[in-house]
Structure 1
Amino acid sequence: MKTTMGRNCLILLLGFLGLGALGGGGALVISPGGRLIGMPLSLLKKSPFHDFLIPGTVLFLLLGIAPCLLIFALIRKPACTFAEKLNCYRDMHWSWTFSIYTAFILIAWIQLEMVFLQAVSWLHTFYMVLAIAILFVALLPAVRSLYQKSI
């Protein structure tokens, strides 16, 4: 029972991240000027971007689509040769490893956002805690044991 509770918690955390990033990233792709979600282009003055299209696309794909696909992979554990080539933990199923990667991508995203915006908001703290929670839950022994490959 404990093992599935940890897995379900990981799935819930990834689902929250994915749905939020699909909404936010999608809004920025649809409205690169930021009007749809009330983000002025002036926020980007210290960044390499002229509008929100590229950041929105990256947010939508890496932190939106990817975690949503990971949920399926964590539940079904499908084989994927390409994903296995990127798996640095050979004794673990690639979906578990990619949940770790997702947490680090979120940490990098938040760090870059704070640098480019030259500001820190409560949302940065919230999403940093979310990334740490994803890491913590994924690294729980009960969760790890679900994704350990049998040798």
Structure 2
Amino acid sequence: MLGMTEDLLKRSPFANLMIPGIILLLVFGAVPLLTVGAMMRRPPLKGLGRVHPFRDMYSAWAVSLYIGFGLIIWIMVQTYMMNGVGAVHLLYMSLGMAIQAVTMLPSVQGYFRLGEENIH
């Protein structure tokens, strides 16, 4: 639908655009939406507390940090595989860095820091 051809994938491990599309939909579509929902409602996220080293932070905060890292890494790998950089890459690289910057703001960290109660 976007007019992309499979020539873009000649330096990648993918034969067609379906697998990268599914990865993008899940990792950078569904997971961020679920994370935003969790950050807004702050439900207990038992189990997620075991997969991040930030024991004093709400688990969804750590997931947002990882989403930013993941987006930056995805774009870096994509530009390598495509052997070029476009405006869309700069946009999404900037978005990944913005996610990182906002997540690391002291006010945001303070809001998601766990108190006496453990809501992991």
TM-score, normalised with respect to structure 1: 0.74
Q: Which of 21, 40, 54 is matched with 2:5 structurally?
A: 40
What's the offset of the Cα at 1:122?
1.1
Q: Distance in 2 between matches of 1:70 and 1:143?
A: 15
Q: Name the amino acid aligned to 1:102.
A: I
Question: Across the two proteins, how many residue pairs are aligned to each other?
Answer: 116
Correspondence 1:1-150 to 2 at 5 A: 36-150=1-115
What's the offset of the Cα at 1:78?
1.1
After superposition, give the CA deviation of every residue in 1:55-79 in whole Å (9 maximum; x if it has no partner): 1111000000000001111101111
Q: Name the amino acid aligned to 2:32.
A: P
What's the offset of the Cα at 1:51?
0.1
Q: Distance in 1 between matches of 2:53 and 2:23?
A: 23
- Secondary structure at the counterpart of residue 47 of structure 2: helix
Q: Distance in 2 between matches of 1:88 and 1:76?
A: 22
Q: Structure 2 unaligned runs (5+)? A: none
Q: Structure 1 unaligned runs (5+)? A: 1-35
- Secondary structure at the counterpart of residue 104 of structure 1: helix
What's the offset of the Cα at 1:87?
2.2
**Cα-Cα RMSD:** 0.9
